[in-house]
């Protein structure tokens, strides 16, 4: 199971929200590159970089942060937030992203999303499924839809998607544990899917549970920033 730390960016700073609420923002570091370098120093290979300003405003804003981290580290970065057009997705790849993390567009403009999947390949597209009571939420979690999670996953697997990260918004940023039951349901229903868990991780035991049920990766944010999980504790999950 791959450990994927998250850096969420607002105003160029490393922050975390609680349950996607922009009014519940905590700033953890004014320099996201410094945070990324710390992760790289312990052997982390992946980074989940989210432009929260971009997600809220519907356009790329913090792409220079992406460029800086990509040029100063060897981290494989998936970047999300504000990717709405062909120009946007090409821009994030040009600025150093290895993968594009796509959520809202896959719900609101399926034909555009499928064109990206065809053009760039499933290995460069990371589909995000942000859920509230098993229905999708989009636009930086500001809008809940009537799209059912399992229908959404099935439809996209049929189009060639191989990896999905799923965030239970009710758990995110609360350090109350991940949605184990939800992830078990997804894994049992879609056995060939690479599922990355996101949201709620608060202890090393949470990571062990997610590994045991078969998650291919886990995105961790607040638990690291709040010191609930020490960086050296992650060694057991990082290949030498």
Q: Decide: 64 and 92 in contact? Cβ < 8 Å.
A: no
Nearest to 195 by CA among 105, 116, 146, 131: 131
User: Residue for token digits 């995105």?
Assistant: 219
Residue 35 φ then ψ, to 5°: -65, -45
Nearest to 1 by CA among 226, 165, 149: 165
DSSP secondary structure string for all residues of 64-109: HHHHHHHHH---EEEEESS--SHHHHHHHHHTT-SEEEE-HHHHH-
Residue 39 φ then ψ, to 5°: -60, -45
Instruction: Count Cα atoms within 13 angstroms, Cβ side, for 105.
Output: 25
Q: Which two structure tokens, joined as six digits, stand for 39?
A: 């992760």
15 vs 50, 52, 72, 225, CA distance in Å? 10, 9, 20, 9
Instruction: Kindly name the residue from 78, 130, 168, 206 that is annotated as catalytic.
Output: 130
Active site residue 130: yes
What are the residue numbers of the active site?
8, 130
């Amino acid at each position: 199971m791959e450990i994927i730390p998250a850096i969420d960016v607002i105003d160029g700073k490393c922050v975390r929200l609680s349950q996607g609420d922009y009014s519940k923002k905590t700033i953890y570091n004014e320099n996201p590159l410094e945070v990324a370098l710390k992760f790289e120093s312990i052997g982390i290979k992946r980074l989940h970089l989210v432009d929260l300003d971009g997600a809220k405003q519907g356009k790329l804003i913090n792409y220079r942060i992406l460029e800086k981290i990509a040029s100063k580290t060897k981290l494989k970065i998936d970047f999300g937030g504000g990717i709405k057009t062909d120009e946007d997705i090409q821009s994030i790849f040009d600025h150093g992203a290895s993968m594009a993390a796509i959520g809202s567009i896959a719900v609101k403009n399926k034909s555009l999303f499928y064109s990206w999947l065809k053009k760039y390949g499933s290995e460069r597209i990371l589909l995000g499924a942000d859920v509230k009571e098993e229905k999708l939420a989009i636009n930086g979690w500001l809008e809940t839809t009537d799209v059912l999670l399992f229908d959404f996953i099935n439809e996209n697997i049929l189009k060639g998607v191989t990896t999905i990260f799923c965030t239970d918004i009710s758990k995110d940023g609360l350090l109350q544990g991940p949605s184990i039951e939800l992830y078990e349901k997804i894994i049992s229903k879609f056995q060939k899917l690479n599922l990355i868990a996101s949201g709620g991780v608060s202890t090393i035991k949470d990571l062990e549970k997610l590994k045991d049920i078969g998650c291919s990766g886990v995105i961790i944010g607040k638990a690291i920033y709040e010191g609930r999980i020490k960086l050296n504790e992650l060694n057991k999950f990082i290949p030498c």
